[in-house]
Amino acid sequence: MLSYRIKELRKKRGDTLKVLAQKINYDFSNLSKIERGIHEPSLHLLKKIATVYKVDLNYFFETNQYSPEEQEFMRRLDLNSKDVKDYSLFLDGKELSESELDLAVEIIRKLRAAINHDS
């Protein structure tokens, strides 16, 4: 997913791999491996690409596979609410347990804090 979003954005902006690598001061061959999904990009690298192309870091994690109504629902869903326990959330075909959901929320909070701290 990340590899696709990076490549999609780069092509949208009309850059070659070499040009983007130069703009972010990153090794061309490693960037190529990231775009092909061989390696995962670091958060630091994603920030550099987001800065160069003037997009929010969330761009790399957004998908448009949901209807506008579903997107609005997800945008407004408060994971702290008791209501979330009424939904069956799945990952890799398996339902998330309450402890897995709590862990996911904690990871997201720490990621947000790290992003906001570095900004």
Residue 107: pLDDT over 80: yes
pTM for this entry: 0.55
Average pLDDT, the chain: 83
Q: What is the pLDDT of residue 5?
A: 87
Residue 55 Cα distances to 5, 20, 43, 67, angstroms: 12, 15, 14, 22
Q: What is the pLDDT of residue 18?
A: 96
Residue 24: pLDDT over 80: yes
Q: What is the CA radius of gyration of the chain?
A: 17
Q: What is the pLDDT of residue 83?
A: 61
